[in-house]
Amino acid sequence: MKRREFLSKGSTIAGAGLVLGAPSILKAANKGGDKINVALIGMGKQGQVLFRAMSNIPGLHFQAVCDIWDYNRRGAAGKVRSLQGHVPNRYTDIDELLEKEKDLDVAIVATPDFWHSPHTVKCLDAGLHVYCEKMMSNTLDGARAMVHAMERNKKLCQIGHQRRSNPRYRYTLDHLINNNNICGTIVNINGQWNRAVKSSQDIQYKKSLAIDQAVLDKYGFKDMHQFMNWRFYRDLSGGPISDLGAHQIDVFNWFLGCRPKSVFASGGNDFFKTREHFDNVMAIFEYDAPQGPVRAFYQVLTTTSAGGGFYESFMGTDGTINTSEMSSSSAIYRESTAPEWDDLVKRGYLDKKAAPPKPKSTDGIASYESAAPEEFAIPGVLNKPPHQPHLENFFAAVRGEATLNCDARHAFESEAPIFWVNPSALQKQPIVFTPEQLQV
């Protein structure tokens, strides 16, 4: 089955994310190929990433921009002008935007995490479809409110777990894991995001560009440093496990088709002593997956880029698949005892890599090791910015031409366990999930 056909049917585990929740509204009434009027809510770093990806999508009209920082507002207006030849209406306050802009169709929310829920709920209540960056919120209740608002208003709400629309990930799940079962029984998962100290430093700003303190107070920031570095604060974000880990733990849950039954985490302010959030977190999730028990380890380190950067590794009895948004970090390994994959290579499902070097016979340790697994690769690379397919899916759903790949309900089901990683690390205790802890 080709991906297009798969998307149009949209009824499998891969399409719906997890299998727990009833499908909510996944596509709008057919809007056809008309222009879609877009409001950009939050045009900081992530908002700009989304804008760059959207600038490749035809049929969008960037009508309004909202950001409390004049620097971001002016920058966004300039980008819209150079792309579309008009200056969008600019707002500091989202309430004013929603009151004045009457013919908007969608809002793209890329504000700090603690504003995701209030902004998304306001936009949904105003009758807009919403694409909101992950993590849904910094609190479970905030995320719940987004699901309720989506279902109450019968509007689309896509959460920015962009890997769910990445054809390499979808291909891996549909064809390699589900259809061809190349992993055999998946027993373990390993994932990580290791980021260098240099990339984890405080974000600086020019004093002359600072926001007025009264504006900062109004929008929940104690000062400009906190505005620039909101990811370090517990009241404003979920920290590295949420910023970086949420994408990959979502992939764990998506690929397994279920949520973990428990989490046991450890973390600390090992290097960045004054930050509220842990700079290094390691977590073990336990699953009772349909295929059997699975144990998943995830680590987010903000003090080293060594160890392979960021990837997810699905380790089964027949093979292991390493997935990553970076195709260079992706790989597939066949266990020496697994059935041959030559036919899959011949049919284009896998690319075969060069054989690994044989261990030297003089190496005494080598005799205790398993035979080196053969290496394969997922064929092809994504030929556009990584967020673009997810945004394309959202706009296609707005036009009634596709179903959402990650609506708020399914995103909530996948994100809910992530909210319990920091509490487990703080308490130094495993948390066995109760239905109340994970339900909408």
Partner 1 sequence: MSTESKAANNPLGLLFASLLLRVWLGVRAVQTGIEKFAGKVMSESPVKIDGEAYDADLTEAASSKGYSLENYHGIPEAMNTTFSEEPLMMGWALKIYDVVLGPALIILGLTILLGVASRVSLFLLGLVYVSLTWGLILIKQDAGIAWLGIHMALIAMALSWANHNRFCLLKKW
Q: What distance in Å separates the CA atoms of residue 297 and residue 312, rounded to the nearest whole number? A: 10
| Least distance in angstroms from the C-beta of 398 to partner 1 | 19
CB atoms within 10 A of CB 271: 14
Q: What distance in Å separates the CA atoms of residue 368 and residue 129, rounded to the nearest whole number? A: 58
| Least distance in angstroms from the C-beta of 343 to partner 1 | 11
**Closer CB to partner 1, residue 3 or residue 81?**
3
Q: What distance in Å separates the CA atoms of residue 190 and residue 248, rounded to the nearest whole number? A: 10
**Closer CB to partner 1, residue 4 or residue 273?**
4
Tokens read off for 186: 């998946």
| Least distance in angstroms from the C-beta of 334 to partner 1 | 18
Closest CA to 238 of 276, 200, 272: 276
Q: Is 415 helix (H, G, I), strand (E, B) or coil?
A: helix
The one-letter amino acid code at 370 reads S
| Least distance in angstroms from the C-beta of 167 to partner 1 | 4
**Closer CB to partner 1, residue 372 or residue 382?**
382
The sign one gets for the Cα dihedral 64, 67, 71, 75 is negative
Q: 102: burial class by Cβ within 10 Å (0-12, 13-18, 19+)?
A: exposed
Beta strands in 235-346 (DSSP E): 262-268, 280-289, 292-301, 310-316, 319-323, 331-334
- Specify whether the CB–CB gap between 171 and 332 falls below 8 A: no
Q: 408: burial class by Cβ within 10 Å (0-12, 13-18, 19+)?
A: buried
The one-letter amino acid code at 419 reads F
Q: What distance in Å separates the CA atoms of residue 148 and residue 345, rounded to the nearest whole number? A: 46
Tokens read off for 238: 């979920």
Give the residues lining the site for partner 1 (CB under 8 A).
2-4, 167-168, 171, 175, 347-349, 379-384, 389
**Closer CB to partner 1, residue 70 or residue 392?**
392
| Least distance in angstroms from the C-beta of 255 to partner 1 | 18
**Closer CB to partner 1, residue 2 or residue 207?**
2
| Least distance in angstroms from the C-beta of 383 to partner 1 | 5
| Least distance in angstroms from the C-beta of 117 to partner 1 | 31
**Closer CB to partner 1, residue 94 or residue 397?**
397
Q: What distance in Å separates the CA atoms of residue 163 and residue 161, rounded to the nearest whole number? A: 6
Q: What distance in Å separates the CA atoms of residue 4 and residue 9, rounded to the nearest whole number? A: 9
Q: What distance in Å separates the CA atoms of residue 226 and residue 210, rounded to the nearest whole number? A: 12
- Specify whether the CB–CB gap between 80 and 66 falls below 8 A: no
| Least distance in angstroms from the C-beta of 159 to partner 1 | 20
Contacts of 58 by beta carbon, 8 Å cutoff, 6+ apart:
none
| Least distance in angstroms from the C-beta of 350 to partner 1 | 10
Tell the residue number behind the tokens 């949904």, with chain if given: 124
- C-alpha 256, offset from chain centre: 16
**Closer CB to partner 1, residue 3 or residue 86?**
3
| Least distance in angstroms from the C-beta of 9 to partner 1 | 15
**Closer CB to partner 1, residue 302 or residue 388?**
388
**Closer CB to partner 1, residue 221 or residue 349?**
349
**Closer CB to partner 1, residue 1 or residue 203?**
1
